[in-house]
Amino acid sequence: MSYKFGKLAINKSELCLANVLQAGQSFRWIWDEKLNQYSTTMKIGQQEKYSVVILRQDEENEILEFVAVGDCGNQDALKTHLMKYFRLDVSLKHLFDNVWIPSDKAFAKLSPQGIRILAQEPWETLISFICSSNNNISRITRMCNSLCSNFGNLITTIDGVAYHSFPTSEELTSRATEAKLRELGFGYRAKYIIETARKLVKDKAEANITSDTTYLQSICKDAQYEDVREHLMSYNGVGPKVADCVCLMGLHMDGIVPVDVHVSRIAKRDYQISANKNHLKELRTKYNALPISRKKINPELDHIRLMLFKKWGSYAGWAQGVLFSKEIGGTSGSTTTGAIKKRKWDMIKETEAIVTKQMKLKVELSDLHIKEAKID
């Protein structure tokens, strides 16, 4: 099927699809090897309904091509949406030249490789990163796709691949159970997902808000970062790392550095950051009034987050993204040029095939039950 793509001029050093869509920020973009294009479902602008969005990058002419399938209307609306999604208001070149290189020698050896932080939907970000604990990218991707195909709504089918919405908190609480999620391979995260969805439904009702997006955005209103993180950590399965990922990628808090084992290693090895007794004492005092933070936050890692913010400034989260890609390059399949190895379309098709088979089995089983009931 051929579509009429819109076009957006963008230098590859400012945006590299391979480096941002499959490098562990977002887990629902599918890469089609043959057509060299990416697709996913997303809500465009303020719309509540999902559309299938297809992207491809004409690297020679430095053009991003985009189309929303089934959405006959507004290419301009999609263009505006994508500019926000990719945060194209932020210039990586400017950050390198004027912010990071002057304050950090490590950046002088690097160049922008189109690695930027996405502005993702906060609910999807929350659930995706709950899935990320103790896990690897390919399995998180499979889990997110499994959530959509099992509990989301069918949007459309293109070339034999079914595209679904990401299930809302209500859809998850009404359609999924911990047992079902465990059956689908979520392991111990099954409980976290169900409990988080239930709490969000309750929180929204109390705030008289219907949309997951609107609710999670509302907790930032007139709130300090520490309070937003405290709120996010009130959900089961959400610790400081996951909360910080939601702040950075779902709630546009560009200065937040999620500290995991890799960032912690970078901080100690390359910046000799380590907390002394006074630092730790100060942080414990700081979180005295926040019961969840007091319980869940590791002061040593929090010290690293603060020191990196001090070093890199208000876009510290973006700087972390750049160094992180470089750090894990060798272990997560990136190439020497910094491009993250793309995952195969085949894998998604395989997931689809499994889901279709499961659905077929369910239909057969229910037919069998009907027959048995008739015999009875």
Partner DNA sequence: TATCGACCTGAGACC
Partner DNA sequence: GTCAACAGGTCGATA
Side-chain half-sphere exposure of 92, counting CA atoms within 13 A: 26
First vs last Cα of the chain: how many Å apart?
50
Surface-to-core class of residue 367, CB atoms within 10 Å of its CB (0-12 exposed, 13-18 middle, 19+ buried): exposed
Q: Binding to DNA by residue 167, rule CB under 7 A?
A: no
Contact between 329 and 338 (Cβ < 8 Å): yes
Q: Binding to DNA by residue 296, rule CB under 7 A?
A: yes
For DNA, the binding residue among 21, 24, 229, 275 (CB under 7 A) is 24
Q: Binding to DNA by residue 21, rule CB under 7 A?
A: no
Helix ranges (DSSP H) in the chain: 17-21, 75-85, 92-94, 101-103, 122-131, 137-151, 169-175, 178-183, 189-207, 212-218, 225-232, 240-245, 261-271, 277-286, 291-296, 299-312, 316-332, 345-375
Q: Among residues 8 and 194, whose Cβ is nearest to DNA?
A: 194
Q: Binding to DNA by residue 187, rule CB under 7 A?
A: yes
CA-based radius of gyration for the chain: 22
Region of 77-85, 165-173, 292-300, 368-376 interacting with DNA (CB under 7 A): 292-300
Region of 118-126, 215-223, 237-245, 305-313 interacting with DNA (CB under 7 A): 237-245
**Which positions from 332 through 371 interact with DNA, judged by CB under 7 A?**
332-333
For DNA, the binding residue among 240, 255, 329, 338 (CB under 7 A) is 240
**Which positions from 243 through 282 interact with DNA, judged by CB under 7 A?**
243, 245, 258, 260-262
Residue 259's φ and ψ, nearest 5 degrees, are -100, 110
Least distance in angstroms from the C-beta of 69 to DNA: 27
**Alpha carbons 249 and 245: distance in angstroms, whole number:** 6
Which residues contact residue 211 at a Cβ distance below 8 angstroms, ignoring those fewer than 6 apart?
Answer: 48, 204
CA nearest to 257, candidates 327, 213, 328, 311: 311
Least distance in angstroms from the C-beta of 192 to DNA: 7
Q: Among residues 112 and 258, whose Cβ is nearest to DNA?
A: 258
Name the DSSP class of 343: P
**Alpha carbons 135 and 129: distance in angstroms, whole number:** 10
What are the beta bridge partners of residue 157? 162
Q: Binding to DNA by residue 23, rule CB under 7 A?
A: yes
Q: Binding to DNA by residue 138, rule CB under 7 A?
A: yes
For DNA, the binding residue among 33, 94, 188, 289 (CB under 7 A) is 188
For DNA, the binding residue among 284, 310, 357, 371 (CB under 7 A) is 284
Contact between 342 and 20 (Cβ < 8 Å): no
Q: Among residues 22 and 51, whose Cβ is nearest to DNA?
A: 22
Least distance in angstroms from the C-beta of 310 to DNA: 21
Binding mask 64-103 for DNA (x = CB under 7 A): ----------------------------------------
Name the DSSP class of 73: S
Which member of 12, 241, 296, 342 is catalytic? 241
281 a catalytic residue = no
Q: Binding to DNA by residue 181, rule CB under 7 A?
A: no
For DNA, the binding residue among 41, 57, 125, 132 (CB under 7 A) is 132
Q: Among residues 73 and 185, whose Cβ is nearest to DNA?
A: 185
Residues belonging to the active site: 241
The residues that touch DNA, with contacts defined as CB under 7 A, are 23-25, 132-139, 182, 185, 187-189, 191-192, 233, 236-243, 245, 258, 260-262, 284, 294, 296, 299, 324, 328, 331-333
